[in-house]
Amino acid sequence: MSGLVNSDEQRADGMLVHHVNEGTLWNLPQWSALPRKDQSTPDFEQVYSAGFSGLQVYAPNADASKANLSLSGMARILDGTTCDATIAQHKAWGFQATTLHLGTGFETLDAGKTLVQAVLDASARHSQPVFIETHRATITQDPARTLDLIAAFPEMRFNADLSHWYTGQEMRYGDFEAKLDKLQPFFERVRFMHLRMGHSCEMQTPLFLLRENQAWEDYCLLWSLCMRGFLNTAEQDERFFAVPELLPASVSYQGRLHTINYARLNDPSNPSSELSDRWLEALELKTLIESLWLEATNKVLGPTL
Mean pLDDT value across residues 79-100: 97
Q: CB within 8 A of 110, min separation 6: which ones?
A: none
Mean pLDDT value across residues 109-119: 98
Give the gyration radius of the chain's Cα atoms: 19
Mean pLDDT value across residues 186-194: 98
* Region of residue 174 (phi > 0: left; psi between -120 and 50: alpha; otherwise: beta): left
pLDDT at 9: 43
Measured distance CA(142)–CA(140) in Å, rounded: 5
Residue by residue, DSSP assigns 74-136 as: EEEESSGGGHHHHHHHHHHHT-S-EEEEES-S---HHHHHHHHHHHHHHHHHHT--EEEEP-T
- Average pLDDT score, the chain: 94
pLDDT band at 10 (very low <50, low <70, confident <90, very high): very low
* Dihedral angle sign, alpha carbons of residues 128, 245, 189, 300: positive
CA angle 139, 146, 122 (to 5 degrees): 65
pLDDT at 50: 98
pLDDT at 13: 72
Mean pLDDT value across residues 137-161: 98
Residue 197 has pLDDT above 80, yes or no: yes
Measured distance CA(248)–CA(64) in Å, rounded: 20
For residue 85, the number of C-alpha atoms closer than 13 Å in the C-beta half-sphere is 7
Mean pLDDT value across residues 50-57: 98
Residue 254 has pLDDT above 90, yes or no: no
pLDDT band at 255 (very low <50, low <70, confident <90, very high): confident
Residue 125 has pLDDT above 80, yes or no: yes
pLDDT at 1: 66
Residue 11 has pLDDT above 60, yes or no: no
pLDDT band at 8 (very low <50, low <70, confident <90, very high): very low
Higher pLDDT, 269 or 226: 226
Higher pLDDT, 282 or 40: 282
Cβ neighbour number for residue 81 with a 10 Å cutoff: 9
Mean pLDDT value across residues 154-161: 98
Measured distance CA(294)–CA(67) in Å, rounded: 28
Percentage, residues of the chain above pLDDT 70: 95
Mean pLDDT value across residues 194-219: 97
Mean pLDDT value across residues 121-142: 98
256-259/250-253 β-pairing: antiparallel
pTM > 0.75:
yes
Q: CB within 8 A of 84, min separation 6: which ones?
A: 118, 121, 122, 125, 126
Residues paired with residue 99 on neighbouring β-strands, in sequence order: 74, 131
pLDDT at 252: 82
3-state secondary structure of 290: helix
Residue 58 has pLDDT above 90, yes or no: yes
Closest among 66, 74, 93, 77 to 22, alpha carbons compared: 74
Mean pLDDT value across residues 175-195: 98
pLDDT at 6: 46
Measured distance CA(241)–CA(286) in Å, rounded: 11
HEC secondary structure over 29-43? CCCCCCCECCCCCEC
